[in-house]
Amino acid sequence: MTNDQSHITVDVLVVGAGLAGLRALYSMREAGFSVAVLEASDDLGGVWHYNRYPGARCDVESYDYSYLFSPELEQEWRWSERYATQPEVLSYIRHVAERFHLRPTIQFNTRMARAEFNEASNRWSVTTEDGRTWDAGTLIMAVGQLSTTKQPTLPGQESFTGAIYHSAAWPREGVDLAGKRVGIIGTGSSGVQMTPLIAAEAAHLTVFQRSANFSIPAANAPISAEEDAAIKADYRARRTRALNSPSGLGFVPNGASALEASAEERQAVYEAAWVRLGFGFALAYKDILLNEASNETAATFIRDKIAAQVKDPSTRELLTPRGFPFGAKRPSVDSNYFTTFNRNNVALVDIKADPIKALTPTGLSTGNAHYPLDVLIYATGFDAFTGSLLRPDIIGRDGLSLRDKWSAGPATYLGLGVSGFPNMFILVGPGSPSLLSNVILSIEQQVDWLTEMLVHAKTLGAARIEASPDAEARWVDHVNERAQETLYPRAASYYVGAEIEGKPRVFMPYSGGVRGYRRELERVAANGYADFGIPGKASAGGGTPGGIQNN
Ligand code: N01
């Protein structure tokens, strides 16, 4: 890295110091590249730095939601619970940064404003909001898929005399909610996680619900010393299972169809999955996410479970998800969410039937009622997948901006490369397993592959790596075909861009699974990365360039 303070030259510039950016920094540095990391915040951790709301917790099991690149790290780190809290995940990330000396390379409080590809030099010129410029051979966008918050502006918001927070911009010092009348808008994973804790602390809680969603119990538990030792003794095998499972979570799908089982058998299988599997419930039968009738058996089971937890009949009905298949919209994994509505200090308001009209100085008004509030919490989610990628100006070849390129929705090759944007790569971007997978495993899979491709290109002296328009078009078709085989497109979710009005409706994550995705990465590598325009011969056994295989 050459550095005159205001103009810095590196081989690789990574944007974002969350789980993806840190892993990219580690690998690129190990491969001998000079690296800088730009981080807009004053600390690392990405979403785990920002989402500090009460109850924030990982809903993938801790031993799977952790880096697998270092067996030593695996053995050293001791998770305290099956599902780690946000503070524990953040301290894990900090530990990784210290242990592998990552922190000194990160430029904190440095937000990328613009990046432009220089066709003569085959390098990116990046400008940050503080006026510095960065010259990089490779630009890696590790900005997260759920990192640009969605905060509706309600009429009268400025008149509200209480406090307003967003779940993903929670004050670091915490918020004292004792004795307060609190409102939460949003019942996705964030709203579902915070509701029980806030209900226990606040004087009164009103949850404003637009849509009910499915939720599976987390079955969280402390990890005993014996359990920790047993997992660590077999950690490699656990990782192999995860790498070969559809979503990288290690659950092996039941090979049977839900429709082949008798009603009694199904009930027993669902009961067993319900008490232990969390997300894995969706794999209790192989076709829950593929076949509507199979899905309905799972959905009915969950609806019954919800009904059994909620005493008041109208609240029960309101909390019951209907009108879309289970799992088509990301389900939550909860701890005591539904039973919280049995408390005397908790109310549920149906804002689909009675929409919010405005905030007033003292609370929130719907068409039919006024709810006095001291604190309003937006748990309204994110501009998913593309929000953070489209925030800076990114200008590729021929003056093409990424915003224009993606005006009808994101198009990528493997979720990693974008035709017209040479030497720029996206981690866990649209078109990759990303949010349909154990994201940390997907990050590592991509980073390892990308590192090898960059080393290969360097060895050959290839200065420009760019996904061909053809390969990109084929991949976009393939992503859509795989999605159409599933029930995912049957819900208005952030998977299809439904969370933001006017956002193009495109199915964004890759639903072919982490193993299928990895096979595709391997095939592209074996072909000498020809679809990325790297000259040279394919290695033996490479198969047909461009021929995407279904796995
Ligand atoms: O956001 P969401 P989230 N007026 O988009 C409602 C990850 N995550 O922050 O469904 C009123 O899921 C919206 O209603 P509707 C995880 O991937 C992980 O909860 O659009 N309501 C919905 O109820 C998750 O999926 C963990 O009708 C409005 C809610 O707000 C993702 O982050 C924990 C509204 C938004 O739900 C996002 O979760 C938490 C409006 N204008 C989150 N706009 C882990 O455990 C939106 N809503 C790792």
pLDDT of residue 1: 54
Would you put residue 466 in left (φ > 0), alpha (ψ -120 to 50) or beta?
beta
Query: For residue 112, is it within any domain?
Result: yes
Q: How sure is the predictor about 3, in pLDDT bands with cuts at 50, 70 and 90?
A: low
Cα–Cα nearest to 539, from 550, 549, 529, 551? 529
Does residue 284 share a domain with residue 365?
A: yes
Q: Is residue 93 over pLDDT 50?
A: yes
pLDDT of residue 2: 53
% pLDDT > 90, the chain: 93
Q: Is 167 in the pocket of ligand 1 (CB under 6 A)?
A: yes
Q: Is 181 helix (H, G, I), strand (E, B) or coil?
A: strand
Same domain, 107 and 166: no
> Ligand 1 atom closest to Cα of 57?
45
Evaluate whether residue 430 is within a structural domain: yes
- Residues 134 and 163 reside in one and the same domain: no
Q: Is 58 in the pocket of ligand 1 (CB under 6 A)?
A: yes
Residues 288 and 401 in one domain: no
The confidence score (pLDDT) of residue 397 equals: 97
Distance 67 CA to ligand 1 centre (A): 26
Higher-confidence position of 87 and 277: 87
Mean pLDDT of 368-390: 98
Tell me, yes or no, whether 151 lies in a domain: no
Beta carbons within 8 Å of 263's beta carbon, 6+ residues apart: none
Mean pLDDT for all residues in the chain: 95
Residue 6 has a pLDDT of 80
Token digits of residue 20: 């993806």
Q: What is the pLDDT of residue 549?
A: 46
Identify the residue with better confidence: 415 or 249: 415
With respect to residue 52, please indicate whether it lies within any of the assigned structural domains.
Answer: no
Q: Does the C-beta of 497 come closer than 6 Å to ligand 1?
A: no
- Which candidate, 15, 147, 145, 188, places its Cα nearest to that of 410? 145
My answer on whether 289 and 178 are in the same domain is yes
* For range 237-247, the mean pLDDT: 93
Please tell me the predicted confidence (pLDDT) of residue 550. Answer: 42
- Domains identified in the chain, total number: 2
Residues 6+ apart with CB under 8 A from 33: 10, 11, 12, 138, 454
What is the band of 4 on the pLDDT scale with cuts at 50, 70, 90? low
Q: What is the pLDDT of residues 439-482, one digit of tens each?
A: 999 999 999 999 999 999 999 999 999 999 999 999 999 999 99
Spacing, Cα 378 to ligand 1 middle (Å): 9
Mark whether 431 and 478 lie in a shared domain: yes
Determine what percent of the chain is predicted with pLDDT higher than 70.
96
* Cβ neighbours of residue 483 closer than 8 Å, sequence gap 6 or more: 489, 507, 511
- CA angle, 276 as apex, 508 and 293 as ends, to 5°? 55
pLDDT value for 66: 98
Q: Are residue 284 and residue 364 in the same domain, yes or no?
A: yes
Same domain, residue pair 187 and 230: yes
Residue 58 one-letter amino acid:
C
Least confident of 4-8, 377-381, 395-399: 4-8
Given a cut of 70, whether residue 219 has pLDDT beyond it is: yes
Ligand 1 centroid to residue 383 C-alpha, Å: 10
Q: Is the CB of 152 under 6 A from ligand 1?
A: yes
CA of 496 to the centre of ligand 1 (A): 14
State the distance from the centre of ligand 1 to the C-alpha of 189, rounded, in angstroms.
6
Establish whether residue 110 lines the binding site of ligand 1, counting it when its CB lies within 6 angstroms of any ligand atom. Answer: no
pLDDT of 86 higher than 80: yes
CA 436 to chain centre: 8
Mean pLDDT of 46-52: 98
Measured in angstroms, how far is the CA atom of residue 329 from the centroid of ligand 1? 10
Which one of 358, 378, 398 terminates a domain? 378
Among 320, 343, 378, which residue terminates a domain? 378
pLDDT for residue 544 is more than 70: no
Tell me: do 419 and 502 sit in the same domain. yes
Confidence class for position 537, pLDDT limits 50, 70, 90: low
pLDDT, mean of residues 399-414: 98
Q: What is the pLDDT of residues 419-444, one digit of tens each?
A: 999 999 999 999 999 999 999 999 99
153-203 pLDDT tens trace: 999 999 999 999 999 999 999 999 999 999 999 999 999 999 999 999 999
Q: What is the CATH number of the domain that holds 447?
A: 3.50.50.60
Per-residue pLDDT, 246:
86
Which H helix or E strand runs over 418? none
Spatial separation of the C-alpha atoms in residues 68 and 130, rounded to whole Å: 35
pLDDT per position as a tens digit, 110-163: 999 999 999 999 999 999 999 999 999 999 999 999 999 999 999 999 999 999
145 CA distance to ligand 1 centroid (A)? Answer: 13
HSE at residue 206, side-chain half, CA atoms within 13 A, is 22
Residue 343 lies in a domain: yes
Cβ pair 123, 137 in contact under 8 A: yes
Asked if residue 459 and residue 436 are part of one domain, the reply reads yes
Residue 390 domain-assigned (yes or no): yes
Q: How far is the CA of 479 from the centre of ligand 1 (A)?
A: 24
Q: Is the CB of 486 under 6 A from ligand 1?
A: no
If asked whether residues 217 and 338 sit together in one domain, one would say yes
Any atom of ligand 1 within 6 Å of the Cβ of 63: no
Task: Verify whether ligand 1 is closer than 6 Å to residue 215 (CB atom).
Answer: no
Are residues 367 and 505 both part of a single domain?
no
The answer to whether residue 480 is domain-embedded is yes
Instruction: Note down the domain range covering 125.
Output: 2-44+102-146+384-532
pTM attached to this predicted model: 0.96
Best mutation site among 66, 89, 210 for ligand 1 pocket (most ligand atoms within 8 Å of CB): 210
